Amino acid sequence: MGVGLTLQVLQSLTVMLLAPLYVGVIARAEAVVASKRGPSIFQPYYDLAKLLRKGETLSNQSSWVYRCAPFVVFSCYLTVSTIVPIITSAPLPLAFLADLIGGAFLLSLAGFVMALAALDTASPNGGLGSSRATWIGSLAEPALILVFFTVGVLSASDNPYLMNHAVASSPYALVLPTHVLGTVAFFLLLLVESGRIPIENPSGSIEISMIEEGRILEYAGRSYALMRWGGYMKFFLLSSIFMNVFVIPWGLGNARTVAGGLLGIVVVLGKLALCGFLIVLIDSSFAKLRFFRIAEFLGAAFLIALIGIVTSYVVGV
């Protein structure tokens, strides 16, 4: 139990501490592809350190919802880090708290609280960003649940650890139409949930291209740092689930030794490097969609996941 709790803490610390680095590496890679020098890969750490030292300003229109939202959002993402396989393939002590559907609900709760906080300030930017993100979420979340069902068909469970074992132990699972279509749909949703092109431009500050950033624009200082840090963690978590459950389920450490967990950190960083490469390729190859075309993008993800579930009955998975 002592080793399990140690690995549990190590996994959450891995998500917290390496999520900014993941974002920083992708931002630097995108700049290099665009023939620019770009920021340092440690720039997110510098930004968080600067924000944590700064004071806060509160709108006179805001209530306790606005003040508590950063802590609730950060806690939701931190809780998700305890229930999904990041560095080990064996369930950790807190893995029983929820399955992937419960994890999706926690992500939705974080988005809901962010939307409430954005509306609480009576700011035009906050209201605009909140309404846009809520509309996108209403289309993305049903598709995300269908994606989890595509893997659940193979594992007969919605526990992420059992899903990982089912895919890793099957010699042909990765080439089944159900799994392939679910993987494609999840990657499309990863771009949506992380605010990447073609949905949103994470490096832009133009009002018409801001969705996630618009919801937290009124924050400053430590609260803004928690919101930004939570966004980094969400990106890291979704990318890890995509790689560890859908794409490369092998290579995670065991839950019997701390050394196995440390090895799992190295492995997951290698997997995220591959995922980051795919994201940079998309960001550098496509232009941002017009806002009302996003519904078509999400509709395609939903349809692909739905076809994946239907094919499971045709193929007989």
Distance from C-alpha of 24 to C-alpha of 189, rounded to nearest angstrom: 21
Stretch 23-52: mean pLDDT: 89
What is the phi/psi pair of residue 105, to 5°? -65, -40
Q: Coil, strand or helix: which one is 88?
A: strand
- Poorest-pLDDT segment among 80-94, 152-166, 271-285: 152-166
- In terms of DSSP H, where are the helices of the chain? 2-33, 43-53, 64-80, 100-120, 124-155, 160-169, 177-193, 212-215, 221-241, 258-285, 294-315
Residue corresponding to tokens 């720039």 = 43
Which of 10-24, 260-274, 288-302 shows the lowest per-residue confidence on average (mean pLDDT)? 288-302
Q: Is residue 1 scored above 60 in pLDDT?
A: no
CB 190 within 8 A of CB 239: yes
Q: How far apart are CA 229 and CA 45, in angstroms?
A: 9
Judge whether residue 254 has pLDDT over 80: no
Mean pLDDT of the chain: 84
Q: In DSSP terms, which residues pair with 227 in a beta bridge?
A: none
For the beta carbon of residue 135, count every other beta carbon within 10 angstroms.
15
In this predicted structure, what is the pLDDT of residue 298? 86
End-to-end CA distance of the chain: 36
What does the pLDDT read at residue 77? 93
For residues 160 and 100, the answer to whether their CB atoms sit within 8 Å is yes
Residues 64-77 pLDDT 10s: 888 898 999 999 99
* Cα separation, 180 vs 151, whole angstroms: 10
Long-range pairs of 97-102 with CB within 8 A, sequence gap ≥ 24: 99/157, 99/158, 99/159, 99/160, 100/148, 100/158, 100/159, 100/160, 100/163, 100/241, 101/145, 101/148, 101/158
Contact 143, 295 (CB under 8 A): no
Is the Cβ–Cβ distance between 118 and 216 less than 8 Å? yes
- Of the pLDDT bands very low, low, confident and very high (cuts 50, 70, 90), residue 271 is very high
* pLDDT(317) > 60: no
Q: Write b or e for each residue in 31-51: b if 16 or more Cβ atoms lie within 10 A of its Cβ, otherwise e.
A: eeeeeeebeebeebeebbeeb
Query: What is the identity of the amino acid at 69?
Result: A
Whether 264 contacts 253, CB under 8 Å: yes
Backbone angles phi, psi at 65, to 5 degrees: -60, -45
| pTM, entire model | 0.90
Residue 41 pLDDT class (50, 70, 90 cuts):
very high
Q: How wide is the angle at C-alpha 86 spanned by C-alphas 142 and 254, nearest 5°? A: 135
Tell me the mean pLDDT in the region 242-262. 82
Lowest-confidence pick of 47-61, 74-88, 94-108, 192-206: 192-206
pLDDT average, residue stretch 120-145: 81
